[in-house]
């Protein structure tokens, strides 16, 4: 497979810069895989295509304030950081914007881009009565980022020092940061939102529940690599990004029960697909942790580097709710694996002809 086979032209004006209000008023393109047909609806109408017993599996990860500012010690030069992924309690991979940050550079966080007072008292508090958070660049990454080890875990301080990161193609500030969170976001850890879930409202979730549609939740910490195009022309040569994910025993039981009784498991977003299909695979390093006979998935918590591309055999996912993805991206490859490259690209052209909004704040597809 060639990466160029998953390319398409999109006028810049089609990239949604702001979320639509209310959330469930986004447009919804219905893609019927068996018939190869399309239908145009509004997202709040999604219940017309769901039946009692359907199980929607959504990613409840919450976007963290991963955009940070810091100054270098001792010279005071400023840098901007974007946390990408946590490696352990104190070490993060990050992108760094600023002049010269070699291994060994010491950093101290600033409040939202402001210069942090260099004066600290004996207790390590600044003149602004804020804790002083320091870290050190310990390594370069292959992608040009940095590994930063903080003197102490910084998770509890991100709300004070950080800002919500937005995708690189969004250029308008977000008035309400909660609009880049799903209404069911619970587990902090992502630097990008699971955008297919942004269309759900509490009222819509309630009405679907009244109809007998069930919800289950998984967790996958989304990294910035989700926006990066596949660079290798040969798809098989692409090194997929690794992300932390988990599926609880309760959710595993819900999925196994649905599969046992022939009810549909519908993934809300590509990140949910990744968790579901990872949970269904045998782990060569821990064969006893694989699903038992009669089970489809197992509960687990760990890393996944599952690269879903055309030819992949889906074991769990039977329908998919998803937004429109960037050209040449691993997410477009995943959707093409599920619905077929030709049908997906035809659906994208249909959406362009009909004036759909694309990417994170854009409209959605339901692929049946």
The residue written with tokens 């997906």 in the block is 344
My answer on whether 45 and 118 are in the same domain is no
My answer on whether 190 and 299 are in the same domain is yes
For residue 127, pLDDT over 50 is answered with no
Q: Supply the CATH number for residue 102's domain.
A: 2.40.10.240
For residue 149, pLDDT over 80 is answered with yes
- List the structure tokens of 6: 């998953």
From the list 215, 159, 225, the residue with the least C-alpha distance to 188 is 159
My answer on whether 75 and 146 are in the same domain is yes
Count H helices, E strands: the chain?
6, 17
Model pLDDT, residue 112: 64
For residue 223, pLDDT over 60 is answered with yes
Structural domain includes residue 145: yes
The residue written with tokens 């219905």 in the block is 30
The secondary structure of residue 233, as a DSSP letter, is S
Structural domain includes residue 166: no
My answer on whether 33 and 128 are in the same domain is no
From the list 73, 63, 127, the residue with the least C-alpha distance to 104 is 73
For residue 291, pLDDT over 70 is answered with no
The residue among 127, 161, 195 that closes a domain is 161
User: How are beta strands 243-247 and 265-268 bridged, if at all?
Assistant: unpaired
Q: How many domains does the chain have?
A: 2
My answer on whether 113 and 85 are in the same domain is yes
My answer on whether 184 and 134 are in the same domain is no
My answer on whether 269 and 300 are in the same domain is yes
The per-residue pLDDT for range 163-205, each reduced to its tens digit, is 999 998 999 999 999 999 999 999 999 999 999 999 999 999 9
Listed range (28-37, 172-181, 216-225, 307-316) with the worst mean pLDDT: 216-225
Structural domain includes residue 169: no
- Return the axis-axis angle of helices 330-339 and 341-353, rounded to nearest 10°: 110
Alpha helices in the chain (DSSP H): 158-161, 202-211, 249-260, 270-279, 330-339, 341-353
36-69: burial string, b at 16+ Cβ within 10 Å, e else: eebeeeebbebeebbeeebbbbbbbbbbbbbbbb
My answer on whether 216 and 346 are in the same domain is yes
The residue among 120, 140, 161 that closes a domain is 161
For residue 287, pLDDT over 50 is answered with no
**Could you give the percent of the chain with pLDDT greater than 70?**
90
My answer on whether 51 and 196 are in the same domain is yes
My answer on whether 352 and 294 are in the same domain is yes
Model pLDDT, residue 220: 96
Model pLDDT, residue 252: 95
The per-residue pLDDT for range 155-165, each reduced to its tens digit, is 889 989 999 99
User: How are beta strands 55-59 and 214-220 bridged, if at all?
Assistant: parallel
Range of the domain at 43: 3-63+174-367
Model pLDDT, residue 119: 34
My answer on whether 72 and 41 are in the same domain is no
Structural domain includes residue 167: no
Q: Supply the CATH number for residue 286's domain.
A: 3.40.1780.10
The per-residue pLDDT for range 293-337, each reduced to its tens digit, is 668 999 999 989 899 999 999 999 999 999 999 999 999 999 999
Structural domain includes residue 149: yes
Q: pLDDT averaged over the chain?
A: 90
My answer on whether 220 and 310 are in the same domain is yes
HSE toward the beta carbon, residue 133, CA cutoff 13 A: 22
Specify whether the CB–CB gap between 62 and 185 falls below 8 A. yes
The residue among 132, 161, 190 that closes a domain is 161
Model pLDDT, residue 75: 83
Q: Count Cβ atoms within 10 A of the Cβ of residue 77 and give its class: 0-12 exposed, 13-18 middle, 19 or more buried.
A: middle
């Amino acid at each position: 497979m060639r990466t160029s086979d998953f390319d398409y032209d999109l006028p810049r004006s089609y990239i949604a810069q702001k979320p639509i209000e209310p959330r469930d008023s986004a447009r919804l393109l219905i893609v019927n895989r068996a018939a190869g047909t399309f239908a145009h609806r509004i997202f709040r109408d999604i219940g017309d295509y769901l039946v009692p017993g359907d199980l929607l599996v959504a990613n409840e990860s919450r976007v963290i304030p991963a955009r940070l500012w810091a100054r270098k010690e001792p010279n005071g030069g400023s840098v901007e950081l974007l946390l990408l992924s946590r490696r352990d309690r104190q070490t993060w991979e990050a992108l760094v914007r600023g002049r010269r940050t070699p291994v060994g550079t010491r950093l101290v966080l600033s409040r939202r881009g402001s210069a942090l007072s260099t004066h600290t008292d004996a207790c390590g508090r600044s003149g602004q009565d804020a804790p002083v958070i320091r870290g050190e660049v310990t390594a370069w990454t292959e992608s040009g980022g940095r590994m930063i080890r903080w003197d102490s875990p910084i998770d509890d301080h991100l709300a004070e020092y950080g800002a919500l990161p937005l995708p690189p193609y969004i250029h308008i500030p977000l008035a309400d940061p909660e609009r880049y969170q799903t209404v069911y976001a619970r587990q902090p850890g992502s630097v990008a939102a699971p955008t297919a879930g942004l269309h759900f409202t509490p009222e819509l979730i309630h009405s679907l529940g009244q109809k007998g549609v069930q919800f289950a939740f998984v967790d996958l910490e989304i990294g910035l690599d989700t926006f990066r195009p596949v660079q290798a022309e040969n798809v098989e040569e692409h090194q997929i990004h690794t992300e932390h994910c988990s599926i609880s025993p309760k959710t595993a039981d819900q999925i196994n029960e649905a599969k046992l009784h022939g009810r549909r498991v519908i993934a809300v977003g590509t990140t949910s697909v990744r968790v579901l299909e990872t949970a269904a695979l045998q782990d060569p390093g821990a064969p006893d942790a694989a699903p038992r006979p009669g089970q489809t998935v197992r509960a687990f918590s760990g890393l996944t580097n599952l690269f879903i591309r055309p030819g992949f055999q889906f074991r769990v996912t039977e329908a998919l709710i998803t937004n429109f993805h960037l050209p040449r991206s691993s997410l477009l490859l995943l959707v093409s694996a599920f619905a077929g490259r030709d049908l997906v690209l035809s659906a994208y052209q249909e959406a362009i002809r009909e004036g759909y909004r694309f990417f994170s704040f854009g409209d959605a597809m339901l692929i049946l």
